[in-house]
Structure 1
């Protein structure tokens, strides 16, 4: 890695509302290849916040599709819905340090 660069961390974050499609697989492949080329980490995050349409069967189908393609992950799969408290905590830390602000545009 070049001097001054930080460790490479990439993620693939599909929404489990159906099967893994070719566009999603392409995105996962590009990120996986980039991580492997640069000695980085490939992180799998499941964006399951659409509670009405997300299913356990779709999560399994996505994982099976990635395995079928030979794409392994270094971290995860992290379910976004399981980490909402962590996200809120980090957002509050940013607000407290003046690194973020409340938007009242909508």
Structure 2
């Protein structure tokens, strides 16, 4: 993730509307890239299985089920990860880097 801020600043230094749109697009792709790739993967699985699965409704059911599982996973793990990120940033600010690994291990178990 290092260097993303520099790239965004470079795009914003153009001081144009297209530079602003490029910066927002770049930030959006970086922040939600894994989620977008998962959805594209589900879409491709659905498109590739159109001729192979006899009742077509099964494709839609699979896609909806996987989409809901991803959404629930993001919602449940998001609260823990947000609290973890906030705690870690506070510990770094206070200079207590030794507490980060144990907290990371605990958060890893719960998410």
Higher helix proportion: 2
TM-score, normalised by the number of residues in structure 1: 0.30
TM-score, normalised by the number of residues in structure 2: 0.29
Higher strand proportion: 1
Q: Which has the higher contact order (CA 8 A, sep 6+)?
A: 1
